[in-house]
Amino acid sequence: MRSDLLALKLGRGSAKVAQILGQSGVQYRPVDGMSALTAPYASPMLAFDVDPSFSGVKPAGWGAVARYVLSDRLSDTRVGDVLVCGGQNFFVAAVGMNAPALCIACDQIVSVSAVSGGSGMVVSGCPAAIILRSKGESVQSGVPGAAHPGQFILYLPHLPGVMLHPYMTVMSDNGATYMINSAEKSAWGLRCILSLQQV
């Protein structure tokens, strides 16, 4: 069977499953770092699971942000799209012809400002996942009170025209402020290592 015909049949099957198991959602397609949630693009039916087979029996693990989604608009789903469903935000990190799309479950809304002397905000009001990577405690130091700050990983959607750099500041809607230590842009989106800024 031709791959395009197979993809069409799988897409129709995924759409039917999404209509049966899913909930109504909102799809956004950011065009820059300031428009992640500004203009709805579509209103798909969305079904999420932590298992690509959609068995529905495995709960999400602690700190695990990967989810798979079936949609009745999977053919018009792109990497970087933001999906809002059931009060939670997700962004699309990978889309395949013959598989559910891979998403990242977001737990915060963030803004990113340029380094000192730069030109203001680079990202504003964007869904993101921030998870603890290491607690930063030093067991070998032996110096009373010596502890390194914990490090976090930031996941952001692919945002056209946005490049993040070390020393930029990330502000979360929960009141926390972080500094970017390193940044990576890939086909899946943006990933940064952060340090929590403490007063």
Q: Domains of the chain: which residue ranges? A: 3-106, 108-196
Q: Tell me the average pLDDT of the chain.
A: 84
190: phi then psi, degrees, rounded to nearest 5 = -110, 135
Query: What is the per-residue pLDDT for 155?
Result: 97
Q: Are 79 and 95 in contact (CB under 8 A)?
A: yes
- Determine the average pLDDT of the residues in 158-166: 94
Tens-place pLDDT, residues 44-85: 999 888 877 676 667 777 778 999 998 888 889 999 999 999
Instruction: State residue 119's pLDDT score.
Output: 66
Q: Does the structure show a pLDDT above 70 at 143?
A: no
Q: What is residue 83's predicted lDDT score, i.e. its pLDDT?
A: 97
Give the C-alpha distances (Å, rounded to integers) separating 140 from 137, 148, 149, 152.
9, 12, 15, 21
Look at residue 111 in the predicted model and tell me its pLDDT: 96
pLDDT at 139 over 60: no
Which pTM value belongs to this model? 0.84
- What does the alpha-carbon distance between residue 128 and residue 111 come to, in Å, rounded to a whole number? 10
| Domain range 3-106, CATH class | mainly beta
DSSP letter for 12, please.
H
| Nearest Cα residue to 52 out of 86, 4, 3, 95 | 95
